Amino acid sequence: MIGFEGYIEATKSVQEKVPPMKVALLSIAFGLLAFLPLCGQSSQFMDRLSSPSALSCEDAAYLVLSASGGSESTLALDKALSLAQEKKWLSAKASAERPISLAAFSHLAMSAFGLSGGLMYSLAPGPRYAFRELVYRGVVVGRHDPDEKLDGPSALRILNAVAALKGVDL
Amino acid sequence: MKKIILLLCLLSAFLPLAALDLGLGIDSLSQISGIPGDIPVGFTESLRLSAFLSAMSGRRFSFRLAGFGDYGYSSFAQEANLLGGNLESLELFLLLSPEAAPQRIALKMGRIPGEAGAKALGLSTLDGLDLLLSVAQTDIRLVAGYTGLLRASDAAILLSSDDFLASGDPSIFFAPPRLYYGLDLRFVELLGSADLGLGFSGQADLRQGALDPTNSQYLRLLLSGPLGRGLSYDLSGLLEFIQHSAQAEPSGIAAAASAGIQWYDPARLGSKLNLDIDWASGSGGGLRRYAPIGTSDAGEAYAIPFASMLRLKAAYLLAPTRDFTAALGLTAFMRAGEDTPSDPEYLSTATGVWLGEEGLVSLGWSVLSDLRLNLTAAAFLPAWGITYPETAPLRWKAALGLRLDI
């Protein structure tokens, strides 16, 4: 499971665009609340997002689609995964409860925010080159396994850094 | 053979649990240069295809296998068929301590990068093991490795007459067989905010039937720390004890030292200014000519071994974005001993110490995250009439490098 520490540097690398750590996390989480449909599901979702357990593909899809704005921002939780798969931002093999990997989340976040990648990402967009792109851009720092699972706070950090690269404040 | 089987069994136990990654890289380096010799200006081209396989399981285990094949052309050598290849890395990393433990014990083995003392003595790669223990504010590193399976041109080991003889024989692929051993201690913030480092390293000549078996040991002392906002310094001193078996080469003590100040301001386009003084002893004053285990060049265009020399270097680097870097460097070289530099152009009757100065410009541009261009140009102006004849040519080179990661 990826921890908080690895992303401290990531936040630093885009520090001119990102507020200090705690404030950033809180502001993202509360910012997201504004997009999420007001129902019991959203409070459960926020609980899962702040917990240290592995983030599921369904929650990851909902988080990223909600944060990236557009028509997806008012999406229901149970529709997010299928929409992300339809757009080929997540693998068709991803199931709702399955924990999302760091590489898969990188691809999901880059795709949703329209972040361009390198030559190989342009030719064959997918988790492999998305993960490399985020390592290159300093979003993912340190020794990381692209297949490792990530928790909600770590996912928020990545999302925040990706959004900052696109000039979007969450 | 048993050890290889054991290693494969160990790897096969880990690999199913690990994330596998396979990658390719293509490098091209085109260089035009002017050097003293029969052919004053020449062109070299090198194309390299590298591949790696890596496996990682959490933060406790990783394995990396990397190698390359290359093709080179050099108009100096008038040969167009310089095919080569090498194993770059065969590294197994194990974190032996629990992830959350305050102390850290990590082991690297295989073909591993030379760290700490090995790196300082010019060994960028070793076949061996590297054990790192981090306890509180102290790092203890134990390294042992063998050099005899490295490529001779990569290791550049020139310590004895046997090494020099072997270096002139193009049919010899492997570097001289030597055992490297080292113990490095680093005490973080031991003296206020300064880090203190101590190191003991050595190499033992394992060549059978050598004319001049040569062993050497090295003691290193390092001090580094911040000086103020954006300012830092580092100081190092090194003593070399070398024992030649041949009568013609006396044993003795050599020394090297360096001092540097670095200034960094990320707000000023990522500006970095480095000022360094490096000294490597020459013969005289009770000292011998300094000889690290792996030889390194004094400069980019001034490509002679750094020994018996004082080098003053100023470099200004800019990194306004992650994708673009620029560097400008000026270096002055002075003789630092009674012996003459290993340079056929050197004026043997010279009594002065000024050897010349070198300018360097370097630009790096990541066109995309996986496509990078590098342009480097360097020129060395010999000290005409002082230590080099008036007719000595300017030495220069310009290189364009391209790398694509697949």
| pLDDT score recorded for residue A17 | 40
* CA gap A85, A74 in Å, rounded: 17
| pLDDT score recorded for residue A19 | 43
* CA gap A18, A169 in Å, rounded: 8
Helix A40-50 crosses helix A57-67 at what angle (to 10 degrees)?
Answer: 110
Among A117, A120, A147, the residue with its CB nearest the CB of B19 is A147
Instruction: Yes or no: say if A1 and A51 are a contact pair by the CB < 8 Å rule.
Output: no
Q: What is the mean pLDDT of each run of 10 residues along chain B (406 residues)?
A: 57 60 92 82 90 84 91 75 81 87 91 92 94 93 95 88 86 92 94 92 91 93 93 96 81 94 94 97 89 92 93 96 94 90 85 94 95 96 92 93 94
A-chain residue closest to B267, CA distance:
A16
Closest CA relative to residue B50, chosen from B21, B88, B19, B83:
B88
Residue A108 has pLDDT above 60, yes or no: yes
Residue A14 has pLDDT above 50, yes or no: no
| pLDDT score recorded for residue B170 | 80
Amino acid at A42: S
Give the three-class secondary structure for B266. coil
Interface of chain A toward chain B, CB-CB under 8 angstroms: 117-122, 128-129, 132-133, 136-138, 143, 145-148
| pLDDT score recorded for residue B5 | 58
Among A117, A129, A138, the residue with its CB nearest the CB of B322 is A138
* CA gap A107, A88 in Å, rounded: 10
pLDDT-derived band at A7 (thresholds 50, 70, 90) equals: very low
Q: Rounded to a whole number, what is the distance in Å from the CA of A147 to chain B's nearest CA?
A: 6
DSSP letters of B311-329?
Answer: EEEEEEEEEEETTEEEEEE
Joined tokens for residue B120: 């300082």
Instruction: Yes or no: say if B185 and B201 are a contact pair by the CB < 8 Å rule.
Output: no
Q: Given an 8 Å threshold on Cβ–Cβ distance, is A143 in contact with B57?
A: no
Instruction: Yes or no: say if B389 and B345 are a contact pair by the CB < 8 Å rule.
Output: yes
| pLDDT score recorded for residue A94 | 84
| pLDDT score recorded for residue B249 | 73
Report pLDDT digits (tens) over A56-99: 998 899 889 888 876 555 677 778 888 889 989 998 888 888 99
Closest CA relative to residue A155, chosen from A25, A14, A42:
A25
Q: Which residues of A touch B58 (CB under 8 A)?
A: 145, 148
| pLDDT score recorded for residue B251 | 83
A-chain residue closest to B93, CA distance:
A143
Q: How many CB pairs under 8 A join A and B?
A: 45
Q: Rounded to a whole number, what is the distance in Å from the CA of A133 to chain B's nearest CA?
A: 6
* CA gap B132, B123 in Å, rounded: 18
B-chain residue closest to A12, CA distance:
B266
Closest CA relative to residue B402, chosen from B383, B377, B381, B374:
B374
| pLDDT score recorded for residue B39 | 74
Q: Which residues of B52-76 are buried (b: 16+ CB within 10 A; e: fewer)?
A: bebbbbbbebbbbbbbbebebbbee
Instruction: Yes or no: say if B331 and B299 are a contact pair by the CB < 8 Å rule.
Output: yes
| pLDDT score recorded for residue A102 | 92
Residue A35 has pLDDT above 60, yes or no: no
Instruction: Yes or no: say if B111 and B89 are a contact pair by the CB < 8 Å rule.
Output: yes
Work out whether strand B252-265 and strand B178-191 pair parallel, antiparallel, or are unpaired: unpaired
Report pLDDT digits (tens) over B84-109: 888 889 999 999 888 778 889 999 99
Q: Given an 8 Å threshold on Cβ–Cβ distance, is A118 in contact with B58?
A: no
Joined tokens for residue B128: 């061996």
Give the three-class secondary structure for B289. coil
